[in-house]
Amino acid sequence: VNSKMHRTVPSLPLAPSMKVKLINAGFQVASDLTDMRPLQLCEG
């Protein structure tokens, strides 16, 4: 198991505003993002 994939969204090296958007969209850990494409994240 890759421990990096279990990092919580707030612990990721992202801008605070991006973290808020991801959390509000329901993402909680890095593994939630693995199947997402950049365009899908932008469309949020």
- Nearest partner of 10 among 34, 26, 24, 29, judged by Cα: 29
Domain that holds residue 27: 3-36
Tokens of 4: 């990096």
pTM: 0.73
| Distance in angstroms (rounded) separating the CA atoms of residues 20 and 2 | 24
Q: State how many domains the chain has.
A: 1
Residue 43 falls inside a structural domain:
no
pLDDT, tens digit (0-9, with 9 covering 90-100), for 8-30: 999 999 999 999 999 999 999 99
What band does 43 get if pLDDT is binned at 50, 70 and 90?
Answer: confident
Note whether 9 and 22 are within 8 A (CB). yes
Alpha helices in the chain (DSSP H): 16-24, 38-43
Residue 42 falls inside a structural domain:
no
pLDDT for residue 26: 93
Q: Which residues contact 16 (CB under 8 A, 6 or more apart)?
A: none
Residue 18 falls inside a structural domain:
yes
